[in-house]
C-alpha cells in the first residue's frame, strides 16, 4: 500500500472516531436482560438496583415474577438470564442438579454476612426456648399451637422446615407449617408478639422489619442449611461469554447488609423497587464505581457518564 493510501485510510479512521461513532460492547441480542423476582424483598431491592443501572447503560431489563423452582428451570431453558437471589447453603438442593449439569452458572457472591433460619421472640428465648430441640417439649409445642410460620410454597426455607417436620427425631416433628407470603407471615408474627404470644417463624438478615423485631435465631439446626448465609448470583449457561459487557456488570455486583436494609425498608413502606433503588443510588453515587469497572454502555460508551446522566447528576 502506498504512503498516500495509508494516509488516506488513517484520515478515514480518524473521521469515524471523531464523529462519535461507537463500537457495540454487546450484541443486539443482549439488549434485553431477563431477571427473576421470587417475591423476597431483599431480591426485589438488589434486582431494582441492577434494573436501574442496566437501563442507564442502554439495556432493557425485564423482571419476571417466578418461584424458585421455576427460576432454575427457566435459567436452564434459556428463558431467563439472571437471578440475584441464590441463598446458600439453604438453596443447595435447589441448584445442585443444575450446577452439576452446567445449565446454571454461579458467577459471583453478591452478599456476605446474611442469616437464615427459625426465629422466636426474645421473650421466648428468655423463657428457655433457645434450640430446635426445645420446640419438641410438649409444653412448648402446646403454647405454639403446634404451628411454625413460613413464607410462600416452594421456598427453600419452607422445604427445610417440612423436612424437619417429617423426621421423628427433629424438634419440629408433628408440627404444622403455615405457608404464606413474606408480608403475611410478618403480619401474623407481629400481631402475636404484641400480645406476647408464642410463635416460631422463618427469619432472615438483612431485613428491616426483622431487624427491628426483638427476635432470636434458634440454635441446633445441624446441617439443615439454616444459619449463617451468603447470597450468590446465577446466570444461564454461557451468558457471560455471549454477553460479556452486561455479564461483567452482573458479576461485579456486590451488596452489603446496610444498603439492602435501606432499600428494603422503602419497598416495605410502599415504594416501587426501582424507585427505592434510584433514590438510594442518588444518595450514594460513589457505590456505583466498582460495579461499572470494565463495563461500558451497550453501544460502547462511557458507563459512568451514562449512569450519572440517568440519575440526574
Q: Does domain 28-114+229-310 have CATH number 3.40.50.300?
A: no
The pLDDT value given to residue 86: 97
Given a contact cutoff of 8 angstroms between Cβ atoms, the answer to whether 216 and 125 are in contact is yes
pLDDT tens series, the chain, 313 aa: 444 443 344 444 443 333 333 446 899 999 999 999 999 999 999 999 999 999 999 999 999 999 999 999 999 999 999 999 999 999 999 999 999 999 999 999 999 989 999 999 999 999 999 999 999 999 999 999 999 999 999 889 999 999 999 999 899 999 999 999 999 999 999 999 999 999 999 999 999 889 889 999 999 988 888 998 999 999 999 999 999 999 999 999 999 999 999 999 999 999 999 999 999 999 999 999 999 999 999 999 999 999 999 998 6
Residue entry with cell 417436620? 165
152 DSSP 8-state letter: S
Radius of gyration of the chain (CA): 24
CA–CA separation, 223 vs 170, rounded Å? 12
The pLDDT value given to residue 19: 35
The pLDDT value given to residue 313: 67
Residue entry with cell 461507537? 22
The pLDDT value given to residue 212: 84
Sequence spans of domains, the chain? 28-114+229-310, 116-228
The pLDDT value given to residue 24: 60
CA-nearest of 287, 313, 288 to 303 is: 288
116-228 CATH pick, 3.20.20.70, 3.90.280.10, 2.30.30.280, 3.40.190.100: 3.40.190.100
CA–CA separation, 270 vs 259, rounded Å? 18
With residue 54 as reference, give the H or E element that holds it: helix 41-56
The pLDDT value given to residue 25: 82
Note whether 28-114+229-310 and 116-228 share their fold.
Answer: yes
The pLDDT value given to residue 15: 39
Please give the backbone phi and psi of residue 111, each rounded to the nearest 5 degrees, phi first: -155, 130
The 3-state DSSP class for residue 161 equals: helix
Amino acid at each position: 500500500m502506498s504512503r498516500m493510501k495509508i494516509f488516506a485510510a488513517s484520515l478515514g479512521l480518524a473521521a469515524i472516531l471523531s464523529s462519535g461513532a461507537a463500537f457495540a460492547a454487546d450484541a443486539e441480542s443482549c439488549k434485553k436482560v431477563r431477571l427473576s423476582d421470587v417475591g423476597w424483598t431483599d431480591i426485589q431491592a438488589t434486582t431494582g438496583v441492577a434494573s436501574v443501572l442496566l437501563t442507564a447503560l442502554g439495556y432493557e431489563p425485564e423482571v419476571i415474577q417466578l418461584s424458585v423452582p421455576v427460576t432454575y428451570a427457566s435459567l436452564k431453558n434459556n428463558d431467563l438470564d439472571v437471578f440475584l437471589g441464590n441463598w446458600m447453603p439453604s438453596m443447595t438442593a435447589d441448584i445442585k442438579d443444575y450446577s452439576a449439569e452446567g445449565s446454571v452458572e454461579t458467577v459471583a457472591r453478591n452478599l456476605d454476612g446474611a442469616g437464615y433460619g427459625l426465629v422466636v421472640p426474645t421473650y421466648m428465648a428468655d423463657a428457655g426456648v433457645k434450640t430446635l430441640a426445645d420446640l419438641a417439649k410438649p409444653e412448648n409445642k402446646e403454647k405454639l399451637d403446634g404451628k411454625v410460620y413460613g413464607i410462600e410454597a416452594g421456598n427453600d426455607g419452607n422445604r427445610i422446615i417440612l423436612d424437619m417436620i417429617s423426621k421423628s427425631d427433629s424438634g419440629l416433628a408433628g408440627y404444622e407449617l403455615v405457608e404464606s407470603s413474606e408480608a403475611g407471615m410478618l403480619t401474623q408474627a407481629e400481631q402475636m408478639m404484641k400480645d406476647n404470644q408464642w410463635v416460631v417463624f422463618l427469619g432472615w438478615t438483612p431485613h428491616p422489619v426483622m431487624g427491628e423485631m426483638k427476635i432470636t435465631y434458634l440454635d441446633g439446626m445441624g446441617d439443615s442449611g439454616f444459619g449463617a448465609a451468603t447470597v450468590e448470583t446465577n446466570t444461564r449457561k454461557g451468558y457471560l461469554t455471549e454477553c460479556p459487557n452486561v455479564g461483567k456488570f452482573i458479576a461485579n455486583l456486590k451488596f452489603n447488609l446496610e444498603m439492602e436494609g435501606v432499600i428494603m425498608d422503602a419497598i416495605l413502606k410502599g415504594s416501587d423497587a426501582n424507585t427505592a433503588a434510584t433514590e438510594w443510588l442518588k444518595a450514594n453515587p460513589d457505590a456505583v464505581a466498582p460495579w461499572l469497572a470494565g463495563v461500558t454502555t451497550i453501544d460502547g460508551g462511557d458507563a459512568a457518564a451514562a449512569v450519572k446522566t440517568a440519575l440526574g447528576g
